[in-house]
């Protein structure tokens, strides 16, 4: 399963430039690829290994440039919701059958609430900075 997911993530990465004719498309598709890859691999790869593979310093620099975080924030929210459902001990019986057994994936592999809060704060800060710079350019 891990190898299949790694190959899938790599294939999607290779396809990003081909389906992204403009710089804006490449930017958006790259950010989306990282979010999707993290979602795909987060329960199979240690957090320490995800950082050099996906969550690089350059990724966070690009992430800070996102001017409209709605779509990207949605990816973070989806990943957080999936993690919380998987980690929640009192999920519905039907839901538990469809999710990965948490005992096979220690909670240390899931995003911690503080980490998600920090990521959301970074996104919000980047969005505020962008809005402030737009106001400054427009003038009074």
Instruction: Answer for the pair 54, 37: CB distance below 8 angstroms, yes or no.
Output: yes
- pLDDT of the residue at 126: 54
pTM for this prediction:
0.52
- Residue % of the chain over a pLDDT of 90: 0
> Which residue in this structure is represented by tokens 């593979």?
53
- Convert the pLDDT of each residue in 93-102 to its tens digit: 444 444 445 4
25 vs 72, higher pLDDT: 25
pLDDT tens per residue, range 52-66? 888 888 988 888 887
Specify the DSSP class assigned to residue 99: S
Residue 87 has pLDDT above 80, yes or no: no
Sign of CA dihedral 112, 115, 119, 121: positive
């Amino acid at each position: 399963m891990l190898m299949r997911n790694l190959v899938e993530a790599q294939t999607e990465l290779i396809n990003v430039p081909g389906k992204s004719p403009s710089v804006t498309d490449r930017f958006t598709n790259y950010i989306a690829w990282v979010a999707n890859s993290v979602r795909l691999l987060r329960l199979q790869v240690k957090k320490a290994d995800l950082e050099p593979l996906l969550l690089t310093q350059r990724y966070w620099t690009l992430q800070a440039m996102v001017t409209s975080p709605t779509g990207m924030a949605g990816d973070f929210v989806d990943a957080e919701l999936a993690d919380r459902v998987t980690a929640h001990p009192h999920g519905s019986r039907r839901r538990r059958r469809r999710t990965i057994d948490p005992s096979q994936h220690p909670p240390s592999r899931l995003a911690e609430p503080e980490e998600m809060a920090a990521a959301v704060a970074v996104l919000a800060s980047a969005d505020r900075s962008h809005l402030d710079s737009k106001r400054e350019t427009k003038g009074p």
